[in-house]
Amino acid sequence: MAYLSEDTMKKLEAHDFFQAQTDDMISDRDAISEMVERFVLILGKIDYELQVRMEKDRSTAIDHPNFEIELKPSSIKYDHTTMDKIFELLDADTIKESGAYTPEHEVTSVVPAAWNMTKAKPLAKFSGAVKDVIEEAKIEGRGKLFIKRK
């Protein structure tokens, strides 16, 4: 499906903007900018549909001779309120000594409490319930579609 012919594209690329009138260039730029915005919307719709199909098929790639198409997972975030349940399951000193948790404190302003998930995940070895809390706290975003010409 070609929206602009190759001939039209070559004419646009070869246009001598140095010789063009300022008002004409502004009009051309506005028309092209609007066209680009419409193309970006169309690309978004295509990418969305490809991603929906991949998720439905539970696939992480599409086999295509000309393109590498991959669906990569999003980075996982954790709900810190849920993570606080670990204090009911483990000794607070164990948690703090692990470096997994930084309590709220003040420097020049209040720094909110925070969980370091790299250090918190190993706490799961102490209890299956801790592991369950960590899993419950996961907030998975939508994957990201990558398409690259081979």
> What does 49-72 look like in DSSP terms, one character per residue?
HHHHHHHHHT-SEEE-SSEEEEEE
Give the number of domains in the chain: 2
Instruction: Please indicate, yes or no, whether residues 84 and 55 belong to a single structural domain of this protein.
Output: no
Q: Is residue 146 in some structural domain? A: no
Rounded Cα–Cα distance for residues 8 and 119 (Å): 58
With cut-offs at 50, 70 and 90, classify the pLDDT of residue 2: low
Instruction: Please indicate, yes or no, whether residues 84 and 134 belong to a single structural domain of this protein.
Output: yes
Q: Structure pTM?
A: 0.55
Q: Answer with the one of 32, 59, 86 that is the final residue of a domain.
A: 59
Rounded Cα–Cα distance for residues 67 and 45 (Å): 18
Instruction: Please indicate, yes or no, whether residues 104 and 131 belong to a single structural domain of this protein.
Output: yes
Predicted local confidence at residue 106, as pLDDT: 85
Q: Is residue 54 in some structural domain? A: yes
Instruction: Please indicate, yes or no, whether residues 80 and 121 belong to a single structural domain of this protein.
Output: yes
Beta bridge partners of 77: 139
Q: Answer with the one of 25, 59, 93 that is the final residue of a domain.
A: 59
The stretch 131-144 carries a mean pLDDT of: 92
Q: Is residue 66 in some structural domain? A: no
Instruction: Please indicate, yes or no, whether residues 52 and 99 belong to a single structural domain of this protein.
Output: no
Residues of the domain holding 92: 76-140
The stretch 68-95 carries a mean pLDDT of: 93
Q: Is residue 148 in some structural domain? A: no
Instruction: Please indicate, yes or no, whether residues 47 and 103 belong to a single structural domain of this protein.
Output: no
Instruction: Please indicate, yes or no, whether residues 46 and 82 belong to a single structural domain of this protein.
Output: no
Q: Is residue 147 in some structural domain? A: no
User: Measuring CA to CA, how many Å separate 132 from each of 29, 86, 121, 138?
Assistant: 56, 10, 11, 10
pLDDT digits (tens, 9 = 90+) for 108-137: 888 899 999 999 999 999 999 999 999 999
pLDDT digits (tens, 9 = 90+) for 12-66: 888 888 888 899 889 888 988 998 999 999 999 999 999 999 999 999 999 999 9
